[in-house]
Amino acid sequence: MHIIESGNVAAASGVQLSGAQVIAAYPITPQTPLTEKLSELVDAGELNAQYIPVESEHSAMSVCIAASSAGTRAFTATSANGLLYMNEQLHWAAGARLPIVMCVVNRGIGAPWTVWNDHQDAMSQRDTGWIQLFCCDHQQIIDTVIQAFRLAETVRIPVMVCYDGYILSHTYMPFDIPESAAAGRFLPEFAPDWALDPACPANLNTVTLPDIRPNVRGETAPGYMEIRQNLHDDMRRAIDVVADTDAEFAQVFGRGGNPFIEPYRCEDAEYVAVAMGSLSYQLRDVIDVLRQEGLAIGVAGLRLYRPFPNRAVAEALSGKKGVIVFEKAVSYGYEGPLYADIKAALYDCAQRPAVHNYILGLGGREIKTDDLFDSLRTSCGADAPEAREPAFVGLKI
Amino acid sequence: MRDDITKIRWHGRGGQGAITAAKIVANAAFSSGYGGVVMAPTFGTERRGAPVLTSLKISKHKIYDLSPIAEPDIVIVLDHLLVEEVDVASGLRPGGLIIINTPRPPEAFAFADMKVATADVTTLAGKAGLPTGIVNTGIIGAFARAGDLLDMDTLAEAIESEFAGKSPEKNIAAARATYEHTLVGETDEKRQQ
């Protein structure tokens, strides 16, 4: 059934269809309508979950950690400084291998205060050990939330579903709400292979010495470093699981097919723009005009940021004349974080494209179509200047 | 850029319900076969009474650009006093349509090369039984009359769904009464002929 609603309602509908059992959240703009909707669904008996209002985001994630450790399907959502306030617990959730799902409604970070969109919040949590997926429209939001639970529970790694604050969270557009029965077939009940159980007490994640040691049963248990390598290896393996999850979702619902990169007019393109989230869709109309002008250009929307699908990126971009990375985040003192990752993924390519970096839309600065045209025209063609530093686009002074 | 998209910019005041009005039109458009419908409120630090903007884009095809409308085809103004506070015609194409809730006739507004439609929605909605100042459903009637995009019955159905369980009758009556009483002016050029 298609409805016209906001991105936040799309996310809430995805959580409802996923049968989340514990929801703990603290409201923050622009995430607030999502948690309000979930609390309404729980209150109306339309979602059989415990909604636990908490006094902070740190506590929200702590409750999710406890709930997930006890073997229940846990969900939270936040934005910007709320996400940063969770930071310690984010590392904990991933280290403890808890399949929590969280929507990050992307917003710029203070100081100075902003409530508007960019990607600095999610990008700053890149190395917490969470899987990070980005959405371009409301259909992807609801579909990705449902997939995220299955993905998280398959690999036992928590998942962030990221979508643009306001641009997606507060915009209304049509999307299809999957049938509940089909969602249930795709995402069976959470059945963890271990969980806290008073009948069988256990210590979880206690102090782990630098060296390996025997556990209580006398078996050799991994030390801290082995546990870290396991998380890293499982993150790398999760790339394949993301693809499998997408393929199985497509079988049930007929949507998907581009788990890592969503290409638009890239097949015969000499130049490819790269972006994450709604910006990659906004670029499509720009690409159409540039194509009419005779420029062989396409746009690739990156859906999975961590684990980084470096092979898929290399395959998609190798041999192109130029790659233009647009992003709404900065690694202060270096360059755009996505730009650095894209360049690294292309290092082994026989034919390395020139890679350009544009930083834009920070703190909700409007991304003007004209600016996108200017940036792409500057970076395409034989006389394109060699990119050395990221260029900030849309500055007014 | 794409020429298959009708772009409607709504000017209202915080709390006036411009978002709900745009959402009703979005639903009516979608149910009429416009598969691409995007309604994007422009958020600032709104408070009640402050000027606010909402962008509504309508197309037969999926819309990928969610940015605010800079060059609208139609502008809808829920409070005529906004005309003096905000450049409501900003970016409007020549021959574009401005629909205004006002007791004054279209000729009272001087927008070069624009078509102006007016209706006293505030009075008509009051007569339909809505509380004073509720104009967001009434103005939809003026859009049906002047906009040439969606018919009144389809819009009335969308109002009914939006207010399902919350007595939609008065809202529909306000829209229908406004539809009957909307005055559609000519562009300056045609008036001079």
CB atoms B65 and A4 under 8 Å: no
Contact list in B for residue A275 (CB cut-off 8 A) is: none
Report the C-alpha gap between B74 and B10 in whole angstroms. 9
Distance from CA of A394 to the nearest CA of B (A): 14
Specify whether the CB–CB gap between A146 and A186 falls below 8 A.
yes
Distance from CA of A350 to the nearest CA of B (A): 34
Which of B1, B3, B4, B43 to probe the A interface (max A CBs under 10 A)? Answer: B43
- pLDDT tens digits, one per residue of B37-59: 999 988 666 678 888 899 999 99
CB atoms A369 and B65 under 8 Å: yes
Quote the pLDDT of residue B190. Answer: 58
Name which of B26, B27, B65 is nearest A285 (Cβ-Cβ): B65
**Cα atoms in the Cβ-side hemisphere of radius 13 Å centred on A167:** 30
Contact list in A for residue B45 (CB cut-off 8 A) is: 115
Name which of B23, B27, B64 is nearest A282 (Cβ-Cβ): B64
Report the C-alpha gap between A198 and A299 in whole angstroms. 53
Q: List residues of A whose CB lies inside 8 A of any B CB.
A: 2, 4, 30, 115-116, 166-168, 170-174, 278, 281-282, 284-285, 288-289, 366-369
What secondary structure letter does DSSP report for A362? G
**Correct CATH for A261-392 of 3.30.830.10, 3.40.50.920, 3.30.160.340, 3.30.365.10:** 3.40.50.920
Quote the pLDDT of residue A8. Answer: 98
Name which of A170, A174, A366 is nearest B67 (Cβ-Cβ): A366
Q: Which residues of chain B have pLDDT under 70?
A: 43-46, 188-193
CB atoms A171 and B26 under 8 Å: no
Contact list in B for residue A278 (CB cut-off 8 A) is: 66
CB atoms B37 and A367 under 8 Å: no
Q: Which residues of chain A have pLDDT under 70?
A: none
Topology of A2-186 in CATH?
A: Rossmann fold (3.40.50)
Specify whether the CB–CB gap between A243 and A150 falls below 8 A.
no
Report the C-alpha gap between A65 and A69 in whole angstroms. 6
Contact list in A for residue B40 (CB cut-off 8 A) is: 167, 170-172
CB atoms B64 and A4 under 8 Å: no
Contact list in B for residue A293 (CB cut-off 8 A) is: none
Contact list in A for residue B65 (CB cut-off 8 A) is: 281-282, 284-285, 369
Quote the pLDDT of residue A71. Answer: 97
| CA dist A110 → A27, A115, A116, A120, B182 (Å) | 17, 9, 11, 10, 48
Classify residue A267 by burial, with Cβ atoms within 10 Å: 0-12, 13-18, 19+.
exposed
CB atoms B30 and A2 under 8 Å: yes
Contact list in A for residue B35 (CB cut-off 8 A) is: 174
Distance from CA of B93 to the nearest CA of A (A): 18
Q: Is B37 near chain A, with CB under 8 Å? A: yes
Contact list in B for residue A288 (CB cut-off 8 A) is: 2
Contact list in A for residue B26 (CB cut-off 8 A) is: 4, 172
Quote the pLDDT of residue A16. Answer: 98
- CATH class for the region spanning B6-185: alpha beta
The model's pTM is 0.96
Q: Least CA distance to A292: which residue of chain B?
A: B1
The amino acid occupying position A312 is A
**What is the SS3 string spanning A115-144?**
CCCCCHHHHCCHHHCCEEEECCCHHHHHHH
Quote the pLDDT of residue B24. Answer: 97
Quote the pLDDT of residue A326. Answer: 98
Report the C-alpha gap between A149 and A143 in whole angstroms. 11
Report the C-alpha gap between B80 and B101 in whole angstroms. 6
Name which of B1, B23, B43 is nearest A172 (Cβ-Cβ): B23
Whose CA is closest to A17, among A46, A45, A43?
Answer: A46
CB atoms B38 and A171 under 8 Å: yes
Contact list in A for residue B23 (CB cut-off 8 A) is: 4, 172
The domain limits of chain B are 6-185
- Got the DSSP string for B47-110? -TTSEEEEEEEEESS-----SPPSS-SEEEES-TTHHHHS-TTTTPPTT-EEEEE-SS-GGG--
How many pairs of residues across A and B have Cβ atoms under 8 Å apart?
59
The domain limits of chain A are 2-186, 261-392
Q: Are strands A322-327 and B6-13 parallel, antiparallel or unpaired?
A: unpaired
Specify whether the CB–CB gap between A319 and A352 falls below 8 A.
no
